[in-house]
């Protein structure tokens, strides 16, 4: 796993956006795995700016989102359909037919999950998966103890994760208990993974994921086994890493063509 430490979340997000844009320019029919939450907001804003000001073209891009709450309609203000539409899809020239987000209202969750996996395969697999990380180390909604070989499925959220997501709902009681999420194995199938983390609240999770043992109790730690995984963090999220100086030195020594 490559660790890239930047002074601020904005600096880190701009590096991530440049990398996504490079992929889209080099492969106009790229398949992107997308995340929601506060972490990728600046990334999406920068991609929108690139589309408007630099003609970054998303017309051939296909997207698959990581997850959605069970029981929420696509137009619910806290749904991830709404999040993606408001923060990204409505502002770029992506084909709506190429957008895939789990259906929180599906009447047959297992069948939908199998179909979601099939759709990813039919698209040729995910070229680049964008990830955030939970304070307990979850990726997607793969909570601690999730199978590291898991596929898209229903998951039950922990009280901690429900608390962490209360802002979009008002009270913890309103946060759904169940979600549909890509599995850890599904995420690991992506050709490249880009993990973003900002703030002191994410520092323990990042330390466990990057420098701790590979364990289902820290699902993000499986990314140590991914052949092309990059972790882009700000200084506060990196504050518990033991080898921050080494990670900075490695990135500074890269030839220009290899830097993000």
Residues designated as active site: 67, 136, 138, 143
Q: What is the DSSP letter of 212?
A: S
Q: Which of helix, strand or coil describes residue 120?
A: helix
β-bridge mates for residue 63, sequence order: 32, 99
Rounded to the nearest 10 degrees, the angle between the axes of helix 41-54 and helix 9-26 is 50
Contact 192, 166 (CB under 8 A): no
Q: What is the DSSP string of 180-201?
A: EE--HHHHHTSS-EEEEE-SGG
- Runs of H (alpha helix) within the chain: 9-26, 41-54, 80-87, 109-122, 159-164, 184-188, 203-211, 244-253
The string of DSSP letters for 5-48 reads EESSHHHHHHHHHHHHHHHHHH-TT-EEEE--SSTTHHHHHHHH
- How many C-beta atoms lie closer than 10 Å to residue 41's C-beta? 15
Best CA proximity match to 120, nearest among 138, 102, 139: 102
List Cα–Cα distances, 62 to 29, 76, 126, 255, in angstroms: 7, 23, 9, 31
Do 228 and 166 touch, CB atoms closer than 8 A? Answer: no
């Amino acid at each position: 796993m490559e660790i890239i430490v930047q002074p601020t979340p904005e600096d880190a997000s701009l590096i991530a956006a440049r990398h996504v844009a490079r992929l889209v320019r080099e492969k106009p029919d790229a398949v992107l795995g997308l995340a929601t939450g506060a972490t990728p907001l600046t990334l999406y804003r920068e991609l929108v700016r690139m589309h408007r000001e630099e003609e970054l073209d998303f017309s051939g891009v296909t997207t698959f989102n990581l997850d959605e709450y069970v029981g929420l309609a696509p137009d619910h203000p806290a749904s991830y359909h709404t999040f993606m539409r408001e923060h990204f899809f409505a502002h770029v020239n992506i084909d709506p037919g190429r957008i895939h987000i789990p259906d929180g209202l599906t009447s047959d969750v297992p069948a939908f999950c199998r179909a979601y996996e099939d759709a990813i395969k039919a698209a040729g697999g995910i070229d680049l998966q964008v990830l955030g990380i939970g304070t307990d180390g979850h990726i997607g909604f793969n909570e601690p103890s999730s199978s590291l070989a898991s596929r898209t499925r229903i998951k039950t959220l922990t009280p901690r994760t429900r608390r962490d997501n209360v802002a979009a709902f008002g009270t913890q009681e309103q946060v759904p208990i169940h979600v549909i999420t890509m599995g850890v194995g599904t995420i690991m199938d992506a050709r490249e993974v880009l993990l973003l983390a900002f703030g002191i609240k994410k520092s323990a999770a990042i330390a466990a994921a990057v420098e701790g043992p590979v364990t289902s109790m820290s699902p993000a730690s499986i990314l140590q086994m991914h052949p092309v995984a990059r972790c882009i963090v700000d200084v506060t999220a990196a504050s518990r890493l033991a080898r921050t100086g080494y990670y900075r030195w490695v990135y500074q020594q890269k030839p220009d063509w290899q830097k993000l």
